[in-house]
Structure 1
Amino acid sequence: MEIWRIPTARPADLDGMASWLDEHERARAANFTDAAARRRFIVSHAGMRRVLGRRMGVRPGEVRIAVGRHGKPYAPARPDVQWNLSHSGDLALLVVAYGRSVGVDVERLRPELDQAAFARRFFPAGEAEFVDGSPERFAWLWTRREACVKAAGGRLAQGLRLPVNGPSPALVRDPAGSLPGTWLVLDVPVPPEFRAAAAISARTPPTWTNPTI
Structure 2
Amino acid sequence: MYSIRYPLRSPIRRLPLSERIPDGMEVWLLELDVGLSVPDAELALLSAEERAHAQRFRRQEDRVRSVATRAALRRLVGARLMLPPDQLRFVVNPYGKPRLEGEPEIEFNVSHAGCCALIALSTSGPVGVDIECEERVLNAKNLEELAAYVFSPLERHLALQTSKDFIQHWVAKESVLKALGLGISEHLQSVSILPRDDEAYQIAHDSPEWPEIQAWRLPVSDGYAAALAFQTHDRASTQGKSREVSRQTSWLPLSSLEPCQDRGASPQACDHSVRQIDHA
Structure-2-length-normalised TM-score: 0.67
- CA gap of 1:121–1:75, structure 2 versus 1, over 3 A, is closer
- Distance in 1 of aligned mates of 2:138 and 2:28: 29
Where structure 1 has 5 or more consecutive residues not aligned to the other structure, the ranges are 207-213
Alignment partner for residue 81 of structure 2, among 40, 56, 59?
Answer: 56
Paired-residue identity, %: 25
Report the Cα distance in structure 2 between the residues aligned to 1:61 and 1:53, rounded to whole angstroms.
8
Kept in 1, the 8 Å contact 2:112–2:118? The answer is yes
Q: Residue 179 of structure 1: CA displacement?
A: 8.2
Supply the distance in 1 between the matched residues of 2:52 and 2:191 (Cα, whole angstroms): 34
Alignment match, 1:210 = none
Whether 1:148 aligns to 2:176 is yes
Q: C-alpha offsets along residues 130-155 of structure 1, whole Å, 9 cap, x if unaligned? A: 35431111111111111111111101
Bigger mean CA deviation after superposition, 123-132 or 163-172: 123-132
User: Quick one: which of 89, 98, 120 aligns to 2:123?
Assistant: 98
Supply the AA of the counterpart residue of 1:59. P
Aligned mates of 2:191, 2:38 — CA distance in 1: 41
2:154–2:192: 8 Å Cα contact kept in structure 1?
Answer: no
Could you give the per-residue CA deviations for residues 103-123 of structure 1, whole angstroms, max 9, x where no partner exists? 001111221352233114441
> RMSD in angstroms over aligned alpha carbons?
2.3
Counterpart of 1:162, as a letter, is V
Task: Name the CA distance, whole Å, in 2 between partners of 1:102 and 1:131.
Answer: 28
Give the letter for the 2:53 counterpart: R
Change beyond 3 A, Cα 1:12–1:58: farther
User: 1:2: which partner in 2?
Assistant: 26
Closer, same or farther: CA 42–48 of 1 in aligned 2, 3 Å = same
Task: State how 1:4-83 maps to structure 2 within 5 Å.
Answer: 4-9=28-33, 14-83=39-108
Match of 1:136 among 164, 176, 181: 164
* Structure-1 residue corresponding to 2:138: 112
Once residues 78 and 111 of structure 1 are traced to their aligned partners in structure 2, the CA distance between those partners, rounded to angstroms, is 42
Amino acid at match of 1:160: Q
Structure 1 residue ranges (4+ consecutive) displaced by more than 4 angstroms after TM superposition: 10-13
Letter of the 2:47 partner, please give it. D
Question: 1:151 is paired with a residue of what secondary structure?
Answer: helix
Aligned partner of 1:92: which letter?
Answer: A
The within-5 A match list for 1:174-189 is 174-175=205-206, 177=207, 180-189=210-219
TM-score (norm 1): 0.86
- Report how far residue 17 of structure 1 moved: 1.2
The match for 1:192 among 222, 234, 249 is 222
Aligned equivalent of 1:170: 201
Question: Is contact 1:14-1:39 (8 Å) kept?
Answer: no
Structure 1 counterpart of 2:174, one-letter code? E
The one-letter amino acid of 1:164's match is I
Letter of the aligned partner of 1:201 in structure 2?
Q
**One-letter amino acid of the counterpart of residue 8, structure 1:** L
Give, in whole Å, the separation in 1 of the partners of 2:94 and 2:209.
14
Deviates more, 1:51-60 or 1:116-125: 116-125
Larger-gyration structure (1/2)? 2
SS in structure 1 of the partner of residue 221 of structure 2 = coil
Which moved further from structure 2: 6-15 or 78-87? 6-15
Counterpart residue type for residue 140 of structure 1: Q
Greater CA deviation, 121-130 or 186-195?
Answer: 121-130
Tell me the CA shift for residue 94 of structure 1: 0.8
Q: Which has the higher contact order (CA 8 A, sep 6+)?
A: 1
- Please say if residues 154 and 179 of structure 1, whose CA atoms lie closer than 8 Å, have aligned partners that are also in contact: no
